[in-house]
């Protein structure tokens, strides 16, 4: 039942225009829910069974609050959109009290060392993670037209929570980005000569309204893969963006080569962007806007890791020395 049912859920999620990452995440938690209940079909389970599973995640798996929330979102989708029997809004389960970890942040000199050692093919996307505070997938999903050289900003579409925002673009990256777009144009010229090529993936509304946009330079991914591949949704041949794992590995390898004694990943560069902005005197609400945080409290976590202590308050002990 599992494989057949999950394949149906996957198909429904793609039809409802969910991102590939969201589909994979939701399927993971739905599958876990089914396994927890010994393979029973979700249609014979309901509120109390969901409550037991969510409590199990906290009591036995010790998951963080955010992880438990994602599991709940997956099951809410399952019952509302697939089973057609929405869950109660008043579910009673053990909520995670596990505190989120403070983010790892690099010093400016460590960032410099990291970029000295990173593979040249991944230096530009990594520079955008740090220079513009982008999330990993926000960076990889950029299209060439999202770069605004005139106003020195980047337009981020459908970020976390489906929100759009505009972030700063470091002037130092203008030259490398123009060269990158020339490379994208070269790939496009080659692809258009390939009869099997069906154009780049487009948002659902645009593919009907302006189907020829899939062959225009503006809609091509800023960081395209070196090879063509089959789109799992449409089964058509396209050129996708570079794989997220390759950028993760490049950053990890650079951290080792630079002998930085911290666990460094793509999100570390975003954390460092936010912290360094605050250190340089940026207003916290400006940083909130740049990061795309809905709640200011999420941004305030960066004030806790500044050298001056929690919320950037200077200790009174300073006056004794």
Identify the active-site residue in 160, 165, 207, 248.
160
Q: Which CATH number fits domain 2-82: 1.10.150.130, 3.40.1110.10, 3.40.640.10, 3.40.50.2300?
A: 1.10.150.130
Residues 108-301, CATH architecture: Orthogonal Bundle (1.10)
pLDDT tens digits for range 193-228: 999 999 999 987 788 889 999 999 999 999 999 999
Which string of DSSP letters, residue by residue, matches 229-297? EE-TTT--EE--BPPHHHHHHHHHHHHHHTT--S---HHHHHHHHHHHHHHTT--HHHHHHHHT-SSHH
Identify the active-site residue in 197, 201, 221, 302.
302
Distance CA 78, CA 318 (A): 55
Distance CA 232, CA 58 (A): 34
User: Tokens standing for 74?
Assistant: 């997956």
Distance CA 237, CA 225 (A): 13
pLDDT tens digits for range 11-58: 999 888 787 788 999 999 999 999 999 999 999 999 999 999 999 999
Domain ranges of the chain: 2-82, 108-301
Active site residue 122: no
Q: Give buried/exposed letters for 33-67 (b at 16+ CB in 10 A, else e).
A: bbebbeeeebeebeeebbbbbbbbbbeeeebbeeb
Distance CA 204, CA 274 (A): 33
Backbone angles phi, psi at 160, to 5 degrees: -60, 130
Whether pTM > 0.85 for this model: the answer is no
CB 185 within 8 A of CB 145: no
Q: Give buried/exposed letters for 305-314 (b at 16+ CB in 10 A, else e).
A: bbeeeeeeee
User: Tokens standing for 127?
Assistant: 């520079």
Active site residue 56: no
If the chain, 321 residues long, is cut into consecutive pieces of 10 residues, what is the mean pLDDT of each piece? 87 82 93 96 96 96 91 96 95 84 91 98 98 96 97 92 90 97 98 96 85 96 97 91 97 98 96 94 93 88 68 60 63
Active site residue 135: yes
Active site residue 160: yes
Identify the active-site residue in 28, 117, 155, 267.
267
Q: Which residue has the tokens 């950028």?
A: 247
Active site residue 267: yes
User: Tokens standing for 199?
Assistant: 């154009």
Active site residue 164: no
CB 234 within 8 A of CB 253: no
């Amino acid at each position: 039942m599992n494989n057949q049912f999950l394949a149906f859920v996957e198909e429904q999620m793609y039809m409802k225009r969910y991102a590939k990452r969201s589909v994979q995440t939701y399927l993971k938690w739905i599958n876990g829910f089914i396994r927890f209940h010994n393979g029973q079909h979700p249609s014979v389970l309901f509120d109390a069974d969901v409550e037991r599973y969510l409590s199990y995640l906290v009591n036995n798996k010790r998951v963080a609050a955010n992880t438990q929330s994602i599991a709940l979102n997956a099951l809410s989708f399952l019952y509302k959109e697939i089973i057609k029997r929405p869950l109660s809004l008043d579910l009673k389960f053990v909520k995670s009290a596990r505190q989120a970890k403070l983010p790892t942040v690099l010093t400016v000199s460590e960032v410099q060392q990291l970029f000295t050692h990173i593979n040249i093919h991944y230096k530009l996307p990594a520079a955008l993670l740090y220079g513009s505070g982008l999330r990993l997938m926000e960076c990889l999903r950029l299209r060439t037209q999202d770069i605004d050289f005139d106003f020195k900003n980047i337009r981020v579409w459908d970020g976390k929570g489906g929100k759009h925002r505009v972030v700063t673009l470091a002037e130092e990256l203008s030259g490398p980005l123009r060269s990158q777009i020339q490379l994208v144009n070269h790939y496009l010229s080659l692809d258009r000569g390939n009869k099997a090529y069906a154009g780049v993936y487009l948002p659902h509304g645009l593919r009907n309204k302006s189907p020829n946009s899939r062959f225009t330079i503006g809609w091509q991914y800023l960081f395209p893969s070196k090879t063509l591949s089959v789109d799992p949704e449409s089964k058509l041949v396209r050129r996708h963006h570079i794989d997220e794992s390759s950028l993760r590995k490049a950053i990890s390898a650079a951290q080792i080569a630079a002998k930085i004694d911290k666990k460094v990943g793509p999100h570390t560069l975003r954390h460092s962007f936010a912290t360094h902005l605050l250190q340089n005197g940026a207003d916290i609400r400006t940083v909130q806007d740049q990061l795309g945080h809905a709640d200011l409290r999420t941004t305030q976590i960066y004030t806790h890791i500044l050298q001056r202590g929690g919320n950037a308050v200077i200790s009174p002990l300073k006056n004794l020395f």
